[in-house]
Amino acid sequence: MPGNSFGHAFRFTTWGESHGPQIGCVVDGVPPKIELSEEDLQYWLDRRRPGRSRYTTQRQEADLVKIVSGVFEGYTTGTPIGLIICNEDQRSRDYSEIKNKLRPAHADYTYRAKYGIRDYRGGGRASARETAMRVAAGAVARKILGEKIKIRGALVQIGDQPVKRGSWDWDEVEKNPFWCPDADVALDWAETLTTIRKKGLSLGAMIEVVASGVPAGWGEPVYDKLDGDLAKGFMTINAVKAVEIGAGLDVVRMTGKENADEMRAGSRDKPKFLSNNAGGILGGISTGQEIVARFAVKPTSSILEPVQTVDVDGAETEISTKGRHDPCVGIRAVPVGEAMMACVLADHFLRHRGQIGR
């Protein structure tokens, strides 16, 4: 019942605060005899790592992950995999401002209201630093899913600048600092974010995550539907305020005829769908099409521009965040979103296999 675990058959539990000695994760339920190394995990962590470009926080952390259990002679043993990242960048610093002021749009007030105590250093447990462990768990999940299942994420909108669907190029995603699939829009974003940062502001973003190669049949109706678990997985990422599956909000404007993903004869046991408004999920179960999900990330809350707030005594004050912060926190959410997709799928793969036997 405490809330620091995710998943059921594939289940991970994280701990650690932004400025504590280390953050960690234990991944339980991993099938045995899967080849797994620290390099396998580090590859994905490096994609999330801060300081990759001037559009993300300049906090410099190598974020080197160590495997401390559950792997023997290069292979998983079926026992829990312990993962540790030491927090390197804990330089002594003046926390007096955030110690006493409650930052708007952060969890300062709510942690205090709930627990009556909070580790204010860098946001403590509420820091997005926790998402490093989601990425590590996601890397393990990818290993379970195997090569046939491909999970890719992209940033599809910053502010009011969406990518053009017609210009989508997955290769482009790796070539710009935004995970943007549209080379032209990436240039626009660069300009926009440079301006926004100069103004001491920030912008929101939309991320899309696509999983291909998922067989039909995964998902546990009616309360652990595949889309239900994806919604939970994405919504629990820091700063996320909306989740869409397939056509998402657009279904409101559609007729039943437009929305129906009509079917034509396909291969054995697998019809050909004429569209994918369902985002690859019907009745909470995968259809065998691509799983398509999106989530909206709010603009970075720590900004240079002063905002009005109160302090821990309830007195009025204002706060302005100097120093390293992301003009668009959504950029670094892309690898995190991919990881949550991987974790949800790995969990449902194992759950499905338990009940159905394949």
Site for its own copies in 8-37 (CB under 8 A): 8-9, 11, 13-17, 20-24, 26, 28-33
Closest to 319 (Cα-Cα) out of 98, 18, 95:
98
Listed in sequence order, the residues at least 6 apart from 269 whose beta carbon sits closer than 8 Å to its beta carbon are none
> Can you tell me whether residue 41 is helix, strand or coil?
helix
For residues 297 and 339, which CB has a smaller minimum distance to its own copies in the complex?
297
Question: Least Å distance between CB 149 and its own copies?
Answer: 16
Residue window 273-312: x/- pattern of binding to its own copies, with contact defined by CB under 8 A:
-x--xxx-xxxxxxxx-------xxxxxxxx-x-xxxx--
Closest to 88 (Cα-Cα) out of 132, 126, 118:
132
Q: Find the binding residues for its own copies in span 78-117 (CB under 8 A).
A: 78-82, 102, 104-107, 109-111, 113-117
Question: Least Å distance between CB 332 and its own copies?
Answer: 15
For residues 100 and 171, which CB has a smaller minimum distance to its own copies in the complex?
100
Q: What is the DSSP letter of 87?
A: -
Residue window 222-251: x/- pattern of binding to its own copies, with contact defined by CB under 8 A:
xxxx-xxxxxxxxxx----xxxxxxxxx-x
For residues 49 and 118, which CB has a smaller minimum distance to its own copies in the complex?
118
Question: Least Å distance between CB 320 and its own copies?
Answer: 11
Q: What is the DSSP letter of 35?
A: B
For residues 26 and 98, which CB has a smaller minimum distance to its own copies in the complex?
26
Question: Which part of the chain contacts its own copies (CB under 8 A), choosing from 42-50, 89-97, 118-126, 145-153?
Answer: 118-126
For residues 92 and 171, which CB has a smaller minimum distance to its own copies in the complex?
92
Report strand pairing: 291-297 vs 161-162: unpaired
Residue window 178-207: x/- pattern of binding to its own copies, with contact defined by CB under 8 A:
------------------x----xxxxxx-
Angle (deg, nearest 10), helices 226-235 and 330-356: 150
- Candidates 146, 184, 263, 323; binder of its own copies (CB under 8 A) is 263
Tell me how far apart the alpha carbons of residues 224 and 342 are, in angstroms, rounded to a whole number.
Answer: 16
- Signed CA dihedral, 126, 2, 44, 65: sign only: positive
Q: Is 218 in the site for its own copies (CB under 8 A)?
A: yes
Size of the site for its own copies (CB under 8 A): 152
Question: Which part of the chain contacts its own copies (CB under 8 A), choosing from 46-54, 75-83, 146-154, 173-181?
Answer: 75-83
Q: Do the beta carbons of residue 60 and residue 103 sit within 8 Å?
A: no
Question: Which part of the chain contacts its own copies (CB under 8 A), choosing from 46-54, 88-96, 179-187, 264-272?
Answer: 264-272
Tell me how far apart the alpha carbons of residues 259 and 38 are, in angstroms, rounded to a whole number.
Answer: 44
Angle (deg, nearest 10), helices 330-356 and 38-48: 140
- Candidates 5, 58, 60, 195; binder of its own copies (CB under 8 A) is 5
Question: Least Å distance between CB 329 and its own copies?
Answer: 9
> For residue 150, what are the β-bridge partners?
212
Question: Least Å distance between CB 195 and its own copies?
Answer: 11
Residue 136, Cβ density class (10 Å: 0-12 exposed, 13-18 middle, ≥19 buried): buried
Question: Which part of the chain contacts its own copies (CB under 8 A), choosing from 36-44, 48-56, 66-74, 168-176?
Answer: 66-74
Q: What is the DSSP letter of 294?
A: E
Tell me how far apart the alpha carbons of residues 184 and 169 are, in angstroms, rounded to a whole number.
Answer: 11
Q: Is 168 in the site for its own copies (CB under 8 A)?
A: no
Count other C-beta atoms under 10 Å from residue 50's C-beta.
19
Residue window 325-354: x/- pattern of binding to its own copies, with contact defined by CB under 8 A:
-------------------------xxxxx
- Please spell the DSSP secondary structure of 298-344, one letter per residue: PPPS--SS-EEEEBTTS-EEEE---SS--S-THHHHHHHHHHHHHHH
Tell me how far apart the alpha carbons of residues 102 and 285 are, in angstroms, rounded to a whole number.
Answer: 42
- Candidates 130, 172, 182, 338; binder of its own copies (CB under 8 A) is 130
- Candidates 219, 338, 344, 345; binder of its own copies (CB under 8 A) is 219
